[in-house]
Structure 1
Amino acid sequence: MIPPSPYARQLDAIPVTRESVDILGGTTELWSYGPPDAGTTIVMVHGFRGDHHGLEPLVAQFPDYRSVLADLPGFGISTPLDVDGALGVRHDIHGYSAWLRELVGQLGVDRGTTRLVVLGHSFGSIIVSAALSEGLRADDVVLVNPIAAPALSGPRGILTRLAVFYYKVGAWLPERPGFAWLRLRLVTRFISITMAKTRDAGLRRWIHDQHDRFFGAFTNRRVVLDAFEASVSNDVSEYASRITPPTLLVASDRDDITPVSAQERLVAAIPDARLVVLEGVGHLVHYEKPREAAAAIEAFLAERRPGHPRPEQAAGEVS
């Protein structure tokens, strides 16, 4: 029996459409939630080995916005980028950055009437930051559990080193056993148990089920190995000085990947940024505390800024 989602009722009340778009030699599957003519569009980028399902609990908190979620190339049901063809786009940070910039361009967001917010979780925070440094234009930026420093320097860097060993074995093995190794359910469950901090038994069961169902959804071994290398070889701090839109960091006090001290250094390095630290949660804010994260995002978007409309003004209200 599949554990019920705590956010299903909220999500079911929001209209959703799905479409396929061709980007850099691959087919990206994306889902658009909420009113298509909303004054605010939030483009969300999920983390490593996830897919669009992971950020749906956040989407559920924004019924009045247009939220756009895509499966990263090579993950979920999106196909890989054109690695071996004429384009030669790799599944590294620059490749995913180029993909995100093209995706946002294809959405056709009218910046004159619509406020564009770009949100990234975990590995997605690195992709968003790289894209912004390479020309992506947005009105606001939200980074949830951002990778603020090299993953190996985190409070439980030993886990990252174990992950490096795990993926090296996956690369060393022949194709079929290597692919099976990288999808081991036992490893997925270990990661899920380690990262989940909630004491709510029902919520934990649902989180574990989400990881069991979607953590192994990647196209091939090459994609996941390249993306893993990108996730541990880059971090948001590399791009911080070039993130120019107003930016919100939503961090947590029990994150095993990036400590609060690194988040504090990161927020100081971004020209216009503020930091919210949620308590009692780790790297799975989007699963465990989406309501609290959404409240912080709403407060951030409601800030008055010179020449920058509030969300309701972007939707057409005249003050």
Structure 2
Amino acid sequence: MGTGPSFGTSRWAELEDRIHYLDFGGPPDGPVVVAVHGLGGSALNWLAIAPWLTGEWRLLALDLAGHGLTRTRGRRAGVAANRLLLHRFVERVAGRPVILLGNSMGGMISLLEAAASPETVAGLVLLDAAASFGPALPDPLVASVFALYTMPWLGTVAMARRRALPAETAVGLVFRLCCADPSRVPADIVAEHVRLARHRAELEHADRDFLQAARSVVRTAAGMPYRAAIRSVRAPTLLVHGDRDRLVPVAASHALARHHPSWRLVVMEGVGHVPQLEAPRETAAAVLRWLATVASAVDPARHPLASQA
């Protein structure tokens, strides 16, 4: 891991099992933000944006089960299991209502947490969140890859082929898929992702955990319970979406904004699926502008959980 302040402090929480997270610091009296990465990602996905947020927020970024340095160890790596993991993390590590900052699958998990346990969520910031399928489908190549993952034997073969690639190649392919312009991601942050990819290539069950999570995302996105959960969310919410996202079309966030007219939508031009890595300064500026307009609504001191403490 990096040693500079922007790389955060590596910590572990004991929540039934060990959960790894990065503590990026920030003002102790400011809002607590818990960042939730996407499928195949990790807490490293927040390295680029962290320095732009911690002037006003305390930022924690966890590794979900089966991702980053958090092992499953008998747990599952799917959406429902990781929603429960996030819930325990917020209750026991943050200790007060938080703003959830979720990207892709992390946005899906954050929405589900806000629906299931609204007392823990003061607000939501959703970056290219994995919403319900429709009104638009992802890029045909992306759709075919996810279809492959859902097939028991072919998915296993595909993961074995990916594992055989050098870490630099595998990480490069992911950034080319997720970014409109991968060169925007700083080289030192790419290097951190390569180091983690080398580590995960040596872990038992890493492929199984990824496939389990991928299949869970597909099932969740296609299900009516997820749509009902989205409709029930009442937390103040900001949607940020890259208009060149190949995995989750920007139409998905437009649909969310239509269902919830009070939610603000910011479309990032020329940006792909991970705006926090590709355009961190611009993404942080949009987030902080939103926070200034809803500061009282997301104040933990006004939230029901705070009065129960």
Note if contact 1:14-1:63 (Cα within 8 Å) is conserved in structure 2. Answer: no
Q: 2:172 aligned with 1:181, yes or no?
A: no
Percent sequence identity over aligned pairs: 24
96-105 vs 211-220, which moves further = 211-220
Q: TM-score under structure 2 normalisation?
A: 0.80
Is 1:147 aligned to residue 130 of structure 2? yes
2:104 to 122, 129, 132: 122
**Aligned length, in residue pairs:** 287
The structure in which a higher percent of residues are helix is: 2
Q: How does 1:1-319 map to 2 (within 5 A)?
A: 12-13=4-5, 16-23=8-15, 25-35=16-26, 37-64=28-55, 65-80=57-72, 82-83=74-75, 90-111=76-97, 116-136=98-118, 137-150=120-133, 153-165=136-148, 168=151, 169=153, 171-172=155-156, 180-185=160-165, 186=169, 188-198=171-181, 201=183, 203=185, 209=191, 211-215=193-197, 217=200, 220=205, 221-235=207-221, 237=227, 239-270=229-260, 272-304=262-294, 308=297
Query: Is contact 2:10-2:20 (8 Å) kept?
Result: yes
Paired amino acid for 1:165: L
Asked if the contact 1:50–1:214 (Cα under 8 Å) also holds between the matched residues in 2, the reply is: no
For 1:217-259, what per-residue CA distance to the aligned partner results, in whole angstroms no more than 9, with x for missing partners? 3651321111011122223645321221100000111111222
Q: 1:56 to 1:207 in 2, by over 3 A?
A: closer
Instruction: Between 294-303 and 150-159, report the one with greater CA deviation.
Output: 150-159
User: What stretches of structure 2 of length at least 5 have no aligned partner?
Assistant: 304-309
Deviation (angstroms), 1:75: 1.4
The 2-side partners of 1:182 and 1:131 are apart by 32
1:156-191 per-position Cα deviation (integer Å, ceiling 9, x unaligned): 133221243256446555xxxx86434243555434
Deviations 1:183-232 (A, max 9, x none): 24355543432332227x47486676555444563651321111011122
Instruction: Name the SS for the 2:49 alignment partner.
Output: helix
1-structure distance, mates of 2:50, 2:156: 39
Q: Unpaired runs of 5+ in structure 1?
A: 1-7, 84-89, 315-319
Change (3 A) 1:98 1:172: same
CA separation in 2, counterparts of 1:212 and 1:183?
A: 13
Mapped to 1, the partners of 2:187 and 2:9 lie a distance apart of 28
| 1:142 alignment partner, SS class | strand
Name the CA distance, whole Å, in 1 between partners of 2:20 and 2:275: 24
Q: CA deviation at 1:35?
A: 3.6
| 1:121 alignment partner AA | N
The match for 1:5 is none
Question: What do you get for the CA RMSD once the two structures are aligned?
Answer: 3.2
What CA distance in whole angstroms lies between the structure 2 residues aligned with 1:202 and 1:39?
30
Deviation at 1:270, TM superposition (A): 3.2
Structure number with larger C-alpha Rg? 1
Classify 1:135/1:310 alpha carbon distance in 2 versus 1 (closer, same or farther; 3 Å).
Answer: closer
- Aligned mates of 1:295, 1:265 — CA distance in 2: 23
